[in-house]
Amino acid sequence: MKLTWHGHSAFTIETAGKKIVIDPFITGNPGAKQSWQDVAQGATHVLLTHGHNDHVGDAVEICKQSGAMLVANFEVCMFLVGKGVDGSKINPGNHGGTLDCGGFTTTFVQALHSSSFGGEGGTNTYLGNPAGLVLHFPDAPTLYHFGDTDIFGDMALINELHEPSIGIVPIGDRFTMGGAVAALACRRFFKLDVAIPCHYASFPIIDQNADKFVAAMEGSSTKVIVPEVGKAFSV
Q: Taking the domains of the chain in order of start, what are their residue ranges?
A: 2-228
State the pLDDT at residue 120.
82
User: How far is the C-alpha of 59 from the C-alpha of 50, rounded, in Å?
Assistant: 12
Domain spanning 2-228: CATH 3.40.630.40: no
DSSP 101: -
Residues in CB range of 59: below 8 A, 6 or more apart:
24, 46, 48, 70, 80, 85
Residues of the chain with pLDDT under 50: none
State the pLDDT at residue 208.
98
Determine the angle formed by the axes of helices 155-162 and 179-189, rounding to 10 degrees. 50
How many Cα atoms within 13 Å fall on the side-chain side of residue 33? Answer: 11
What order do you get walking across the sheet with 166-170 strand by strand? 98-100, 105-110, 131-137, 140-145, 166-170, 194-198, 223-224
Q: Is the pTM of this model over 0.75?
A: yes
